[in-house]
Structure 1
């Protein structure tokens, strides 16, 4: 098993201030869609947010999985602070970290990456699809939290900067194609227009 982590601490400026985790998708908030997918391989899910009072009522409705809602210790410093906060309370050695704006997260993809991460004793396994690095929807060792804190104390807040300090392996299109895993799991939505287009194209 791995610990699922949903990073929901952004300011949602490009979404006009709407909380992306609660965008309605096929009749339910996006974060509940994510929790359903995570529950197949995670006994624990951590939602990192600066608005816990807003998310907790939704998270408490999920009964088959241990969902914890926490805040950043380094407030409004981006995904790096969320990774740090989650690593402090994660019950499992490896974390499956996603953004709250990703509607198609894949437990199958996460499981395949987690197996690789454990077998190769890596700090992280990150999708690199069509040449683009996707640090969210990655598998990370819980131990990277200490490296994240070092960077946060140095006021270095780029998530990509963390990859310069850990031992990670890219997994490219072929890795997922060989296992018949569709690669749209890295899709995210940042603007109302993107969300509307995605909603219109759902099966």
Structure 2
């Protein structure tokens, strides 16, 4: 008997913000509030719990999450470890992952991703824009936890490569879809 589809969500906000001079991207202002506040509300509309992966400013992030996760290793080891840390504690059967530097993501796009995941409950699902895989906008079944644990232990650090190894199914959208704004520089934040 298959487990019912239930959804936990994860906001990745654990990076060091090196392209922003060390600024915590999740706390960057967007439409008059920190982007993490906006994206956490969006995730709460889609899933049953909101996890935030952060490695600093936990007191700020805790107001927007049901639970926080942080990397057990120092020096910002990357988003794949944030995903692994969240899979270890998520209560749902699946984990929807979004990064904090895509402030224009919206509920219809995330619902489409989740619908595809519900149709393929044993597979990883990720967004693809044109020919570009967007590995940090994905849905992971918790059944992949052991696979990801092993990959991490053997040195895998790339979410993209790991998802490809899992034969990820993709939801394709236009390459120029404005919802995929990737705000990694101060000018991108100021223009958004």
TMscore range, shorter length? 0.7 to 0.9
Task: Tell me the distance in 1 between the aligned counterparts of 2:128 and 2:122.
Answer: 16
Contact 1:81 1:149 in 2 (8 A): no
Task: Tell me the distance in 2 between the aligned counterparts of 1:160 and 1:111.
Answer: 21
RMSD (Å), alpha carbons: 1.9
1:1-45: per-residue Cα shift (whole Å, max 9, x none)?
411101111111100111100001121101001011112122211
Task: Tell me the distance in 1 between the aligned counterparts of 2:98 and 2:172.
Answer: 18
Contact 1:128 1:173 in 2 (8 A): yes
Deviation at 1:90, TM superposition (A): 0.5
Q: With structure 1 as the length reference, what TM-score do the two structures score?
A: 0.83
Within a 5 Å distance, the mapping from 1:135-174 to structure 2 comes to: 135-173=135-173
Please tell me whether residue 30 in structure 1 is matched to residue 29 in structure 2. Answer: no
Contact 2:127 2:137 in 1 (8 A): yes
Structure 1 residue matching 2:135: 3-state secondary structure: coil
Q: Give unmatched runs, 5+ long, in structure 2.
A: 1-5
Deviation at 1:144, TM superposition (A): 2.4
The aligned counterpart of 1:187 is 181
Within a 5 Å distance, the mapping from 1:79-118 to structure 2 comes to: 79-118=79-118
Q: Give unmatched runs, 5+ long, in structure 1.
A: 175-181, 199-203
The aligned counterpart of 1:55 is 58
Deviation at 1:74, TM superposition (A): 4.0
Contact 1:123 1:168 in 2 (8 A): yes
Contact 1:3 1:91 in 2 (8 A): yes
The aligned counterpart of 1:130 is 130
Count of residue pairs the alignment pairs up: 185
Within a 5 Å distance, the mapping from 1:2-21 to structure 2 comes to: 2-21=7-26
Cα pair distance change 1:164/1:13, threshold 3 Å: same
Cα pair distance change 1:173/1:58, threshold 3 Å: closer
Contact 1:7 1:79 in 2 (8 A): yes
Deviation at 1:135, TM superposition (A): 0.9
1:146-197: per-residue Cα shift (whole Å, max 9, x none)?
22221221122111121233132112127xxxxxxx9433322111122112
